[in-house]
């Protein structure tokens, strides 16, 4: 059976990050098969992991959902936060968002219980496309489209070149492979435009389509197969962090 580091096994349940898991292990809050354990322990899928006496490893089929996040919902697993995405969906199983959309934005976000696929998708260097439909406060010029596509200063860096096309006088389509915080809004602000509506309509091979706000659907078998093929060579978090050092 596959052996996995305990902190990784905990993070893949969506309970917390690996770093937070290490702290829980260090302070004795974690048990494996009812016994206290230390850092560096490896577990198998059949092992029972509990935190503060609560078992977090229950055999559940992988869940992959496409959710149309409405404006006003916060992408967090912290259920103490009002209008959090987990409580809003109220799924019977423990699921968590892949990445985030800021509160004023809407559109497609993945929800899953598969931590491994989360790590692979979120690696920014994997160049996974995310497509948005953006409405701004004043008429779009050809200069604006060109500058957005060539990259503008954002958060002490310059955004990567990207595909930007004009839809109408106030709306444009943009496809990013970066994941900078509030990237599109910051790019527009730098060029003197205010975003009035931002909607993500595609992540990689999966499109929002006609999914209504607040609704979700499972990935189709074909969607999941294509997605898995596209991330098969993706760097996992631990491997990539080693290369950064």
Q: What is the CATH number of the domain that holds 37?
A: 3.10.290.10
> Are residues 44 and 71 both part of a single domain?
no
- Residue 94: which pLDDT band, with cuts at 50, 70 and 90? confident
Catalytic residue (choose from 102, 114, 156, 160): 102
pTM of model > 0.85: no
73 in a domain, yes or no? yes
User: For 137-152, what is each residue's pLDDT tens digit?
Assistant: 999 999 999 999 999 9
The reported pLDDT for the residue numbered 129 is 92
Q: What percent of the chain has pLDDT over 90?
A: 65
> Are residues 230 and 119 both part of a single domain?
yes
3-state secondary structure 45-96: CCCCEEECCEECCCCCCCCEEEEEECCCCECCCCCCCCCEHHHHHCCCCCCE
> Are residues 143 and 191 both part of a single domain?
yes
Q: 182 is in which domain, residue-wise?
A: 129-203
244 in a domain, yes or no? no
d(CA 22, CA 161) in angstroms, rounded, equals 38
193 in a domain, yes or no? yes
> Are residues 69 and 37 both part of a single domain?
no
Cβ neighbors of 67 (< 8 A, separation 6 or more) are 85, 89, 108, 109, 110, 111, 211, 215, 216
Instruction: Provide the token pair at 135.
Output: 């409405």
| Residue entry with tokens 């009002």 | 82
> Are residues 115 and 135 both part of a single domain?
no
> Are residues 117 and 229 both part of a single domain?
yes
Total tally of structural domains belonging to the chain: 3
> Are residues 84 and 138 both part of a single domain?
no
> Are residues 119 and 134 both part of a single domain?
no
169 is catalytic: no
Angle among Cα 72, 97, 110 to the nearest 5 degrees reads 95
Q: Which helix (H) or strand (E) segment is 44 a member of?
A: none
245 in a domain, yes or no? no
Res. 236: pLDDT tops 60: no
User: For 60-91, what is each residue's pLDDT tens digit?
Assistant: 688 999 999 999 999 998 888 999 999 999 98
The reported pLDDT for the residue numbered 127 is 73
> Are residues 120 and 133 both part of a single domain?
no
């Amino acid at each position: 059976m596959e052996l996995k580091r305990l902190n990784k096994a905990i993070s893949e349940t969506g309970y917390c990050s690996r770093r937070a898991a290490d702290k829980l292990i260090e302070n004795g809050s974690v048990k494996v098969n009812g016994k206290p354990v230390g850092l560096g322990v490896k577990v198998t899928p059949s092992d029972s992991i509990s935190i503060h006496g609560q078992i977090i490893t229950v055999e559940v089929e992988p869940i992959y959902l496409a959710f149309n996040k409405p404006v006003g919902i916060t992408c967090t697993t912290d259920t103490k936060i009002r209008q959090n995405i987990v409580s809003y969906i109220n799924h019977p199983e423990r699921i968590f968002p892949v990445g985030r959309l800021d509160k004023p934005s809407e559109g497609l976000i993945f929800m899953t219980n598969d931590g491994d696929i989360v790590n692979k998708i979120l690696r920014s260097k994997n160049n996974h496309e995310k497509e948005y439909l953006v409405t701004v406060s004043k008429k779009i010029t050809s200069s604006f489209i060109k500058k957005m596509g060539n990259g503008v200063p954002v958060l002490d860096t310059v955004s990567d070149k990207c595909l930007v096309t004009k839809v109408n006088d106030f709306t444009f389509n943009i496809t990013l492979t970066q994941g900078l915080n509030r990237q599109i809004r910051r790019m527009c602000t730098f060029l003197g435009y205010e975003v009035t509506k931002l909607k993500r309509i595609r992540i990689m091979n999966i499109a929002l389509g006609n999914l209504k706000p607040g609704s979700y659907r499972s990935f189709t078998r074909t969607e999941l197969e294509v997605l898995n093929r596209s991330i098969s060579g993706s760097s996992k978090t631990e491997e990539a962090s080693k290369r950064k050092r």
